[in-house]
Amino acid sequence: MERRPGGEANIRTGEKVMTRPRTHPIRRYRRRALALALLGGIAGLTLLAPWLATADPRHAVPADQWLAPSAAHPFGTDHLGRDVFSRVLYGGRQTLAMGLLALGITLGPGLVMGLVAGYAGRWVDRALMTVMDALLAIPSLLLALALIVVLGSGTTQAALAVGIAGIPVYARVTRAAALEARALPHIEAARSIGVRPVGILGRHILPVIRPVLLSFAGVTFGWALLNGAALMFLGYGGDIAAPDWGVMLAGAREAFRSAPWAAVAPGVALSLTVFATNLLASSFNGSRASK
């Protein structure tokens, strides 16, 4: 692919179009390192929860309700006298696990449908994308809520609902990228000499669109975390005593004015995780591999 400063050739029409100057690679890698450090730190803390936690996250001590942060309770206690610090640590496990599960559910079908639609074109593309477009008309959280009604409540069901609700967007993005890549000269060449579609998709198209897919997977993970937490907040997680950031926010909401710490801790943890995820996603942007 030919590159000129301040612009590049549209791969399909050959017209020169303006593009955003790319982030300098060094800055991008620094951003990625920061994101990975943040995410790694959060994941590490939650994994080490059994050793770091100062109390049983489910143990209620009604007499200790709404204690302000102190040495004994670094993040204070909640409305049932449970240690917020321990609950945030354990809560990350469930929240992150749900996000990962949802991401996996989104990526598989989303990727396959997007690639097939983008590569095959014609009626396959039209049929798949009509369905995806219809689903896209519904906000993903609403779609997840509708799915919960069918699937029933529970953490796995919630993750499943969030994952399925994310498929249309991911398929859409993959398809757009595949469509663009299909027109690249070396891929056209491969097609013309009769390389089988699976080979073209796997060996030629995927490597080209990988940065887009990775970047958008990051964004999807952020959404999955937020939507998952929203479902838990609304009480679709089944286990209402579970340490989980969404559940904690719901429980702390009613007393936010007298005991804000019970909501601030899981809120900051969730925001920080989503921030790190988005940072990671943006570090893939523009690092399009060229062969």
Q: Which residues pair with 186 in a beta bridge?
A: none
Give least dist CB 185 to other proteins, A.
Answer: 44
**Three-class DSSP category at 83:** strand
Which is it for strands 16-18 and 3-4: parallel, antiparallel or unpaired?
unpaired
Q: Which of residues 207-236 bind other proteins (CB under 8 A)?
A: 235
Name the one range near other proteins by CB under 8 A: 54-62, 102-110, 120-128, 277-285.
Answer: 54-62
Q: Which of residues 57-116 bind other proteins (CB under 8 A)?
A: 58-60, 62-63, 65, 79-81
Question: Residue 133 is encoded by which pair of tokens?
Answer: 């477009």
Q: Is the CB of 103 or the CB of 231 nearer to other proteins?
A: 231
Give least dist CB 245 to other proteins, A.
Answer: 17
139: exposed, middle or buried (C-beta count within 10 Å: 0-12, 13-18, 19+)? exposed
Distance CA(104)–CA(203), nearest Å, equals 22
Name the one range near other proteins by CB under 8 A: 103-111, 115-123, 237-245, 271-279.
Answer: 237-245
Region at 10 (left for phi over 0; alpha for psi -120 to 50; beta for the rest): beta
Told to check if 239 binds other proteins by CB under 8 A, we report: yes
User: Is there a contact between 151 and 213 (Cβ–Cβ < 8 Å)?
Assistant: no
Q: Which residues pair with 158 in a beta bridge?
A: none
Told to check if 188 binds other proteins by CB under 8 A, we report: no
Interface size with other proteins, residues (CB under 8 A): 20
Q: Radius of gyration (Cα) for the chain, nearest Å?
A: 23
Please pick, from the candidates 126, 241, 268, 271, the single residue that binds other proteins as defined by CB under 8 A.
241
Q: Is the CB of 74 or the CB of 238 nearer to other proteins?
A: 238
x/- map, 255-284, other proteins, by CB under 8 A = xxxx--------------------------
Q: Is the CB of 59 or the CB of 126 nearer to other proteins?
A: 59
Q: Is the CB of 192 or the CB of 258 nearer to other proteins?
A: 258
Q: Is the CB of 13 or the CB of 258 nearer to other proteins?
A: 258
Query: Can you list the alpha helix ranges (DSSP code H) found in the chain?
Result: 25-47, 49-52, 84-120, 122-136, 140-151, 155-182, 185-192, 197-199, 206-233, 245-253, 261-284
Q: How many CB atoms lie within 10 A of CB 150?
A: 9
Please report, as ranges, the residues that interact with other proteins according to CB under 8 A: 58-60, 62-63, 65, 79-81, 235, 239-241, 251, 253-258
